[in-house]
Chain A
Amino acid sequence: MATVELVTGAGGNYPDGSDQTPIADSTGAMMVSPAGTRFAEAVLRGNVFSMMLTATSAGWGNFHIETTSIAAANVQFCLYNPLFSKYNLSLLRFVYGSQSGTAGATIICHGGFRQAVAPTLAATTTIKNNLPNGRPSVATGFISAAGTVFTGNTTGATFVAPTSFASEPFTVGDAPAIPRQSCLEMVDGGVVLPPGTGWVPFFMAGQSGAGWLATLSITWEEVPIPLPLGKGFTI
């Protein structure tokens, strides 16, 4: 067995083109320096996508509320990974923007569901590759105005309950005088959608708002998965 070794030390001021041994810290860990951007490599390979919901006239109560199922007549903002996509969708960024009106006093959460068949909806959205003219996404995005029926799927199956994940890092208060805080959450791969699952943002129940205008966007990386499918989940 060959053991690859590093050297400990503060390093030097080495000229370009020289061959040097990588340095390690006092615990033996290799010292590294970021090459630059966080996501440019994935974007340049055409694997990062986004979709957004532009300003909607929906009232607060027309977004998904944390209940036992995804309501049919609410505003839909849903990312779905088809069963045979061969990719995991690794969520990178989620943005909430409040434009006017009064939001309910609660928070936004990530919701996930499993469903082997893609949901059906009259209106779908265009998924944009973050690399202009990049390949199309394997995912399906759904957006709609309030009142559009989100019927589940063509076989009549229903959604499983949304699951609660880490909350958004802000609270939407109910005092109109308080400016609404737009928010970016760097999910950074913290939620992953295997094939046959989907994601929706939803709100905790119990509060109400009025005349609320909001925008939403989600960005994700499509990561090829080896076969057989990753352990631990069934459809």
Chain B
Amino acid sequence: MCSRLGHQRTTLSTQRTGRHEMLMSQKIGQGPSDGVAELSQLPLRGETTGSVVTSEAHGRYHDAVSAGRVFSLMIANNAITVGNLLTTVIPGQQNMLCLANPTGSGVDLALLKFMDAFVNNIGFRDVGPIWHGVFYTDVTTDRFNNPPQGVARNHLIGGPTSSALVYWITAVLPASAGLPVPLMMSGVGVNSVNSVLPSQLQNQPDMIDGAIVLPPGTAWTPLWASTSPSEAQVQSITWEEIPRERPGA
């Protein structure tokens, strides 16, 4: 049995910094062939290029979900018949899903997964993909004349409530809403052409996996290049709320 500390070589112990700086060491190899007894002390194991060989203890999102930091919202069946258009200004008369991180929330919202699915076979699918739209300003205070309508659900069943505000707006927005210009971020993994029935499409989730982060005072909404009438959709957005330690968050 060997001690982990025995494989850490002390390289510097400076009186100048008062810190002990140790160079981490690992044992290169395939690991023991006979398995390792419980409570064994082992060095880190490395492969031939020097990277550390790791194994996952649980599911990818288990830790964040168990801590009560992961939330999602799904909007109901047929809720969206016309989405937010990818234009310079969002028209007032749109059904829209919007995830907003209010100023002073104290958390960053790391988007994890977006899903759009079709629930009827009436109309043709919109032309083009769905885009992520991000508001760079706080849309929660004076931009929407509607209160938040959605309910964010914690993926830890019964967990704490979300710090985010979720807008699921089906009412007509007044012309004075003056929404900020959304910015394209990246295409969502669903795409289609016109004259294709919704049932002929395979919907894929966009595993955003943190590639878009909403700091306080920003918001997100999905966008379409064009829309067709009569198609009914459901959508969901899943996110992790990461506490901000910095002053003024």
Measured CB to CB, the residues of A under 8 A from B are: 1-7, 9-23, 30-36, 38, 41-42, 66, 88, 90-92, 105-107, 109, 112-114, 163-171, 173-175, 178, 181, 187-194, 196-199, 204-207, 221, 223, 225, 230-235
Contacts and interface: CB of A to CB of B under 8 A. Distances in A.
B66 A230 contact: yes
A22 B44 contact: yes
8 smallest CB-CB distances across A and B, nearest first, come from A173-B199, A189-B59, A189-B62, A11-B49, A164-B74, A11-B50, A197-B157, A31-B51
Given A1-B20, A166-B113, 10 more contacts: A12-B49, A18-B27, A20-B25, A20-B50, A66-B76, A166-B115, A173-B200, A207-B120, A225-B66, A234-B158
A9, A42, A167, A206: which has the most chain B beta carbons within 10 Å?
Answer: A167
Contacts, number: 272
A91 B113 CA distance: 16
B121 A173 contact: yes
B61 A190 contact: yes
Contacts of B158: 112, 114, 194, 196-197, 233-235
Contacts of A192: 62, 65-66, 155-157
Interface string B191-225: 00000011111111100000000000000000000
Contact of B49 (A10, A15, A223): A10
B73 interface: yes
B75 to A, nearest CB: 8
A183 B238 CA distance: 19
A193 B28 CA distance: 39
B162 to A, nearest CB: 12
Nearest to B11: A5
A154 B130 CA distance: 48
Given A169-B205, A231-B68, A223 B58 contact: yes
Given A17-B28, A35-B54, A165 B200 contact: no
B142 interface: no
B24 interface: yes
B204 A14 contact: no
B185 to A, nearest CB: 19
A224 B198 CA distance: 43
A76 B239 CA distance: 29
Given A21-B25, A164-B73, A166-B113, A92 B50 contact: no
B72 interface: yes
A91 B154 CA distance: 14
A234 B158 CA distance: 7
Contacts of A163: 153, 157
B25 A19 contact: yes
A107 B28 contact: no
A18 B65 contact: no
Given A14-B49, A107-B234, A190-B238, A175 B117 contact: no
B52 A20 contact: no
Contacts of B56: 34, 38, 41
B51 A33 contact: yes
Given A189-B60, A232-B160, A233-B159, A165 B29 contact: no
A14 B74 contact: no
B25 A166 contact: no
Contact of A206 (B19, B78, B199): B78
B119 interface: yes
A170 to B, nearest CB: 6
Interface in B6-62: 7-8, 11, 19-31, 43-44, 46-62
A171 B51 CA distance: 42
B41 to A, nearest CB: 16
A211 B204 CA distance: 26
B65 A90 contact: yes
Contacts of B78: 206
A109 B74 contact: yes
B104 to A, nearest CB: 21
Contacts of A221: 58-59, 62
Contacts of A225: 66
Contacts of A197: 157-158
